[in-house]
Amino acid sequence: MPEKILLQQYRSTRQHSCTLCAPLQTEDYIPQPREFASPPKWHLAHTTWFFEEMVLKVYLNDYQIYHEQFSYLFNSYYHTIGDRAIRTERGAITRPSVKEVYQYREYVDKNIEHLLSNSPNKEILTLVKLGINHEQQHQELLITDLKHTFSLNPIFPVYRSNFNLVKDKNEDSGWLKMEEGIYEIGHNDDSFCYDNEQGMHKVYLHNYQLSKALVTNEEYIEFIEAGGYENFNYWLDEGWNWVQENNIQRPLYWFNIEDKWHFYTLSGLKQIDPEAILAHISYYEAQAFATWKQCRLPTEFEWEAASEKLIYGKRWEWTNSAYLPYPGYKMAAGAVGEYNGKFMINQMVLRGGSVATPANHGRPTYRNFFHPQLQWQFTGIRLAK
């Protein structure tokens, strides 16, 4: 019975969020040092609010909402549901306490489990699946946001001593050759996907090659040492402005200490392993590196068409595709419809998933997207030519 499996997935996903927070002290749940980096407490509450707002309030008879104001406090961008707490003020919301947020989670969990145990209809199953995937996305954000907050602390806090996520290496090398022709792109079976993957359609691709390995720290250090950050020829015009105005000279979290490259990891400050895969670069840096290498970044279609033959999942790979709708794309009605479509401007697609992506969350058709200057995700570079 699919609802049993779903219930199982629900439980394990919900539990995983708590497991991720186990090493945190109460203080760590609070800060939002940048607009893009939300507090752990907010992630825990917001993912819970999603189930309450989208599922329980609509489908569970006589459901008593946990607290009237939580819908205001833990909403994110869903304009269709009342006012929203200003996005940049999340760090000021010390109450409800962390403990209360965990109680809120338990309350909602109990009700969702009740609902799933009593012959839920198809709409419920669909929305719970969406809620699970939504929470998985926030699990990755929780980790990347926490890393960012900790990185601003001069004492470089340790999240867990064995949690250096950026020490992994390539398992393949060389170039994958792909043939010219028509390929089918987009999601095409009954399994879960987001609306932005739907609208399976044909694209025509010309001959191309993809690197089987991602760019390593060593290769990127060559770029730095070759003056990559000082030569505008490699950069898009806006990328060059970004470099100049922010005095960018290296990937995020990198430090040059006594002439040795170090970086901040969730296990503290570490010396960089040259053979490990590069992380925390912006699209601008990815594009500049590719130009310096006399290569380019792949399009998202090239990536997806080749995905069966790629070893991926270590870094979100910047593609040279802007985040735009597929043919026939329709936003869902209401708040669920705000999930994806409204962000289809000025962002670039990333493919493949990262070391921080929860297991079973990714798939070849998955379209992640961020603004080109952002570096705080576990982003990397796969070259194309």
**Nearest distance from residue 208's CB to its own copies, in Å?**
8
**Nearest distance from residue 258's CB to its own copies, in Å?**
17
Using rule CB under 8 A, residue 238 touches its own copies: yes
Using rule CB under 8 A, residue 269 touches its own copies: no
Question: Using CA atoms, how far apart are residues 44 and 162, in angstroms rounded to an integer?
Answer: 23
Using rule CB under 8 A, residue 247 touches its own copies: no
For its own copies, how many residues bind (rule: CB under 8 A)?
Answer: 65
Q: Which residue from 141, 198, 194, 135 is spatially nearest to 9, judged by alpha carbons?
A: 135
DSSP E strands in the chain: the ranges are 175-178, 181-185, 201-205, 208-211, 254-257, 260-265, 268-271, 316-322, 348-351, 368-370, 379-380
In the complex with its own copies, which residue's Cβ is closer, 125 or 236? 236
**Nearest distance from residue 152's CB to its own copies, in Å?**
4
Question: Using CA atoms, how far apart are residues 41 and 24, in angstroms rounded to an integer?
Answer: 11
Of residues 6, 60, 65, 93, which one binds its own copies by CB under 8 A?
93
Of residues 328, 359, 360, 363, which one binds its own copies by CB under 8 A?
328
- CA of 251: how far to CAs of 166, 217, 291, 379, in Å? 13, 10, 17, 10
Element (H, E) at 9: helix 2-21
Element (H, E) at 109: helix 98-116
Using rule CB under 8 A, residue 25 touches its own copies: yes
Using rule CB under 8 A, residue 296 touches its own copies: yes
Q: Which residues contact 155 (CB under 8 A, 6 or more apart)?
A: none
Considering only the stretches 25-33, 49-57, 112-120, 308-316, report the one whose residues sit in contact with its own copies under the rule CB under 8 A: 25-33
Using rule CB under 8 A, residue 179 touches its own copies: no
Query: Read out DSSP for 59-91?
Result: HSTTPPPS-TTHHHHS--S-TTSS----GGGGG
**Nearest distance from residue 231's CB to its own copies, in Å?**
9
**Nearest distance from residue 349's CB to its own copies, in Å?**
10
Within 148-177, which residues bind its own copies (CB under 8 A)? 149-150, 152-155, 157
- C-beta neighbour count of 34 within 10 angstroms: 15
Interacting residues with its own copies (CB under 8 A): 25-33, 41, 69, 72-73, 77, 79-80, 85, 89, 91-98, 149-150, 152-155, 157, 182, 201-204, 206, 208, 232-233, 235-240, 283-284, 287, 296, 320-322, 324-325, 327-328, 342-346, 372
